[in-house]
């Protein structure tokens, strides 16, 4: 069959993407596409996925059309003009050779290749995790700002609100050249929190523009400030007020606080803290054996040295104060006044509270006192992740400057969890590559991505692609008999025979020179597969009950309604390959009306003179059974 449909109407180059508002001003020139692009492949089965990758690789090598196509046109066409099936792969590449190498690896079933992401669409939910305090780094977001106009516009909007409360433009600090005095300011509490907030909000807006939306969100520390703004709890102006007041009041606290992360059993951590009289406390619980302690600088240094000497892994956090500790107490009253001046609303997206690890209700989220506790009390990230898992989350995207929570969350999940933990940005990789790779990971997991919006600013063209690599199978029914006899009843009639009308018997023949009968059949594991279920010492044996059934059917044909006896002489064994010929004879009646019965077989490929094996013999009679002995007296 060939199915034809009308070709789509040509779309003008300046047409609006579906779902967007009409432009009121002349559209700007197309934006240069990112150097790194995702090239998507999918199939209904793993075999089809590999075959499709091979077909695409051959097309790229051999087709003049492919050679002339721009990489962005090819990537867009794969994403927007092809159906997406369950088994998925994406090649994140910035060059032709890298793309071909990954496609070849996928086609050959290789385990891994540079830029290759594979997965199967899941039905689980998606959560966004907004990164904590201490994740800031010089220049964070600069590559995204230069590449994606939506990110740049959102970042500028957030920075404009933050700048109303700061003594210098936050963007200048974030984008300052690394190693300069201006870049070093990003580690000051006054600027680090607003910087992280600006990046996370702009990153969320870009993901949202691409159609990637969470089912739930969570954060902790400054990450919660971004979360409550993007979910609608606070307007941008109020969120900027909250973030800058928090950072300003913390920055005004006396110096001398620090934080250190340690991977150790909880008992080890608590015993060490008990010795310090409350001057150091647990600030974050990031895993079953992952803690951040916060307190006096000299005590934090001593604890870090002690735990390191004991063989535990530690890391000093780049922070200016001891967050989530008694060091925060002097700022709480002033911060409470700021929180009370803001307008809180119910969230549009469910949020898991990192203080208690529970789903937040609107009353708690809109309570200013909660946000005061948020500054002082410990963040229980491990409990938040466990709640997200219980809510059906299987894909976690970290929204922040680097991979922090996406690394910690693995230890918080149950052993049977197959969740994907995806960082949106990484410290050691280019930002555009990291974000495109993250989007590719979400796509292969089944998270919806609006690829038309992803490519809208570049205005790509649709180019030719290879057709789907169908996995072809034959569906013709296979005959278990002779090719010359496609209709058994018709073939038997042509030979002057009658069908026995029984699944184990073929023909029934009434003998002309006597009143006897002959029944024929062919049995094999191919034609009667259920017989393979009955095995004795590993060999398929026709059950005795089946032989009784053959005898009864023969009696019906001969007018005998009783099987008086049936003696089994030899088991009827079926070969694993091939089959057997079957002959069942019923003799003419004797003087008492009884008929002798015998069952024989031999291999289906036996020569004419090869002897038959007798498997059973018995007696049939007519007229019902004799009256049985009375059971009144035992």
Quick: pLDDT tens for 83-129. 999 999 999 999 999 999 999 999 999 878 999 999 999 899 999 99
Q: Which helix (H) or strand (E) holds 417?
A: none
For the cut 80, the answer to whether the pLDDT of residue 632 exceeds it is no
Band of residue 505 on the pLDDT scale cut at 50, 70, 90: confident
Q: Quick one: pLDDT at residue 30?
A: 81
Q: Note whether 46 and 182 are same-domain residues.
A: no
User: Does one domain contain both 161 and 85?
Assistant: no
Q: Residue 375: pLDDT above 60?
A: yes
Taking the whole predicted model, whether its pTM rises above 0.75 is answered as no
**DSSP character string of 104-129:** HHHHTT-S--TTEEEEE---SEEEEE
* Predicted confidence (pLDDT) at residue 4 exceeds the cutoff of 80: no
Q: What is the edge-to-edge ordering of all strands in the sheet holding 290-296?
A: 280-287, 290-296, 257-263, 313-316
* Predicted pLDDT of residue 429: 94
Question: From CA 452, how far away is CA 433, in angstroms rounded?
Answer: 19
CATH code at position 189: 3.40.366.10
Percent of the chain at pLDDT > 90 equals 72
* Predicted local confidence at residue 493, as pLDDT: 62
Are 99 and 130 in a shared domain?
no
Nearest to 327 by CA among 360, 300, 294: 294
- 377: three-class secondary structure by DSSP: coil
What is the C-alpha separation between 604 and 524, in angstroms, rounded?
Answer: 9
Average pLDDT over residues 144-153: 97
Mean pLDDT for the stretch of residues 597-609: 91
Residue 468: inside a domain: no
Task: With CA atoms as reference, report the closest residue to 388 among 419, 365, 362, 415.
Answer: 419
Q: What is the pLDDT of residue 507?
A: 87
Q: Note whether residue 551 is domain-resident.
A: yes
> Residue 530: its pLDDT value, please?
84
Q: Is residue 415 part of a domain?
A: yes
For the chain, count helices (H), then strands (E).
22, 21
Q: Cα–Cα distance between 412 and 385 in angstroms, integer? A: 6
User: Are the CB atoms for 183 and 176 separated by under 8 Å?
Assistant: yes
**Residue 359: what pLDDT?**
95
Residue 346 above 70 pLDDT? yes
Round the average pLDDT of the chain to a whole number and report it.
89
Place of tokens 């600088």: 297
Question: Is 630 a residue whose pLDDT tops 80?
Answer: no
Of the residues 120, 140, 168, the one at which a domain ends: 120
Is there a single domain that holds both residue 229 and residue 361? yes
- Which of these three, 416, 445, 474, is where a domain ends? 445
Quote the radius of gyration of the chain (alpha carbons, Å). 39
- Other C-beta atoms within 10 Å of 33: how many? 19
The model's pLDDT over 511-537, given as tens digits with 9 standing for 90+, comes to: 888 889 999 999 998 888 888 889 998
Q: 258 phi and psi, to 5 degrees?
A: -155, 170
Residue 18: DSSP 8-state: T
Please report, for the domain that includes residue 94, its CATH number.
Answer: 3.30.70.3290
Measured CA to CA, the distance from residue 387 to residue 347 in angstroms comes to: 18
Is residue 68 domain-shared with residue 182, that is, in the same domain?
Answer: no
Nearest CA to 201 among 250, 128, 251, 125?
128
Q: Within a domain: residue 459?
A: no
Q: Is residue 493 part of a domain?
A: yes
Judgement on whether residues 134 and 114 belong to the same structural domain of the protein: no
Question: Mean of the pLDDT values across residues 597-622?
Answer: 92
Mean pLDDT (whole number) for 6-27? 49
Q: What is the largest CA-CA distance in the chain?
A: 124
SS3 450: coil
Domain that holds residue 529: 488-621
Report the pLDDT value the prediction gives residue 234, as an integer from 0 to 100. Answer: 97
One domain, residues 238 and 171: yes
């Amino acid at each position: 069959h060939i199915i034809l449909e009308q070709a789509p109407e040509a779309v003008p180059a300046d047409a609006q993407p579906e779902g967007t508002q009409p432009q009121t001003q002349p559209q700007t020139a197309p934006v240069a596409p990112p150097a790194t692009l995702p090239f998507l492949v999918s199939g209904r089965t793993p075999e089809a996925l590999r075959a499709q990758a091979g077909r695409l690789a051959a097309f790229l090598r051999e087709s003049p059309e492919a050679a002339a196509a721009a990489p962005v046109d090819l990537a867009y066409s794969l994403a927007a003009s092809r159906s997406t099936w369950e088994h998925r792969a994406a090649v994140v590449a910035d060059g032709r050779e890298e793309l071909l190498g990954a496609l070849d690896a996928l086609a050959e079933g290789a385990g891994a290749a540079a830029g290759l992401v594979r997965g199967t669409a899941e039905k689980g939910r998606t959560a966004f995790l907004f990164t904590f305090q201490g994740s800031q780094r010089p220049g964070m977001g600069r590559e995204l700002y230069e590449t994606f106009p939506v990110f740049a516009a959102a970042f500028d909007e957030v920075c404009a609100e933050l700048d109303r409360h700061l003594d210098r433009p936050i963007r200048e600090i974030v984008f300052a050249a690394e190693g300069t005095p201006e870049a070093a300011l990003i580690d000051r509490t006054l600027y680090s929190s607003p910087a992280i907030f600006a990046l996370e909000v702009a990153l969320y807006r870009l993901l949202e523009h691409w159609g990637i939306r969470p089912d739930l969100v969570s954060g902790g520390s400054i990450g919660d400030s971004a979360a409550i703004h993007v979910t609608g709890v606070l307007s941008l102006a109020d969120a900027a007020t909250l973030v800058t007041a928090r950072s300003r009041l913390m920055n005004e606290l006396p110096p001398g606080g620090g934080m250190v992360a340690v991977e150790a059993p909880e008992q080890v951590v608590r015993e060490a803290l008990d010795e310090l009289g409350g001057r150091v406390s647990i600030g974050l619980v990031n895993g079953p054996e992952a803690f951040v302690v916060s307190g006096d600088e000299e005590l934090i240094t001593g604890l870090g040295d002690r735990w390191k000497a004991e063989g535990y892994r530690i890391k000093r956090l780049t922070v200016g104060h001891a967050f989530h500790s008694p060091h925060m107490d002097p700022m709480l009253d002033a911060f409470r006044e700021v929180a009370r001046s803001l307008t809180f609303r119910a969230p549009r997206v469910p949020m898991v509270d990192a203080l208690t690890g529970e789903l937040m209700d609107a009353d708690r989220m809109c309570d200013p006192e909660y946000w005061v506790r948020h500054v002082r009390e410990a963040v229980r990230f491990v409990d938040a992740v466990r709640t997200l898992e219980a809510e059906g989350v299987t894909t976690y995207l970290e929204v922040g400057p680097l991979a922090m929570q996406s690394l910690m969350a693995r230890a918080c999940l149950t052993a049977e969890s197959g969740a994907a933990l995806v960082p949106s940005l990484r410290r050691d990789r280019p930002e555009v590559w990291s974000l495109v790779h993250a989007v590719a990971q979400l796509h292969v997991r089944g998270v919806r991505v609006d690829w038309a919006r992803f490519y809208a600013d570049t205005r790509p063209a649709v180019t030719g692609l290879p057709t789907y690599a169908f996995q072809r199978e034959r569906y013709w029914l296979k005959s278990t008999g002779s090719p010359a006899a496609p209709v058994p009843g018709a073939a038997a009639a042509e030979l002057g025979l009658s069908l026995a009308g029984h699944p184990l018997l073929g023909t029934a023949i009434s003998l002309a020179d006597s009143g006897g009968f002959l029944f024929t059949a062919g049995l094999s594991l191919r034609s009667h597969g259920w017989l393979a279920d009955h095995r004795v010492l590993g060999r398929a044996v026709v059950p005795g009950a089946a032989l009784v059934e053959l005898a009864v059917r023969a009696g019906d044909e001969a007018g005998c309604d009783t099987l008086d006896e049936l003696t089994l002489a030899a088991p009827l064994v079926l070969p694993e390959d091939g089959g057997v010929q079957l002959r069942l004879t019923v003799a003419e009646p004797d003087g008492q009306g009884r008929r002798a019965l015998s069952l024989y077989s031999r291999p289906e490929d036996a020569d004419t003179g090869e002897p038959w094996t007798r498997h059973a013999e018995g007696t049939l009679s007519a007229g019902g059974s004799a009256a049985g002995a009375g059971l009144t007296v035992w």
